[in-house]
Amino acid sequence: MDNRSQFKSLSAKHLAKRTVQDVVGLIGLKHFSKARRAIVNQQRVFAIQVFELHRLIKKPKQLYQRKLRHPILFLIV
């Protein structure tokens, strides 16, 4: 059984007890580094997406509040 199939056969319960060194030992430093870069990159993308989502949600609320304060401005197109 190679390192990758050994890693796949571990249960979630056992994975919780693994250290970084255990994972590096199982999949190798090259694969660990590649996976870590992918995770960090995905976290960065996710943070940008959350920021944009909050910005997009906030804009209609601002427009609606502005319309309530100055309804005549929204009649002019």
18: which residues sit within 8 A by CB, 6+ positions away? 10
Residue 24 has a CB neighbour count (10 Å cut-off) of: 15
pLDDT digits (tens, 9 = 90+) for 15-74: 677 889 998 999 999 999 999 999 999 999 999 999 999 988 888 887 777 777 776 666
Query: What's the CA angle centered on 26, arms 21 and 30, to 5 degrees?
Result: 80
Query: What's the CA angle centered on 17, arms 16 and 19, to 5 degrees?
Result: 105
Q: pLDDT: is 76 or 36 the higher one?
A: 36
pTM: 0.55
Spell out the domain ranges in the chain.
3-74
pLDDT given for residue 2 in this prediction: 56
- Contact in structure between 24 and 32 (CB atoms under 8 Å): yes
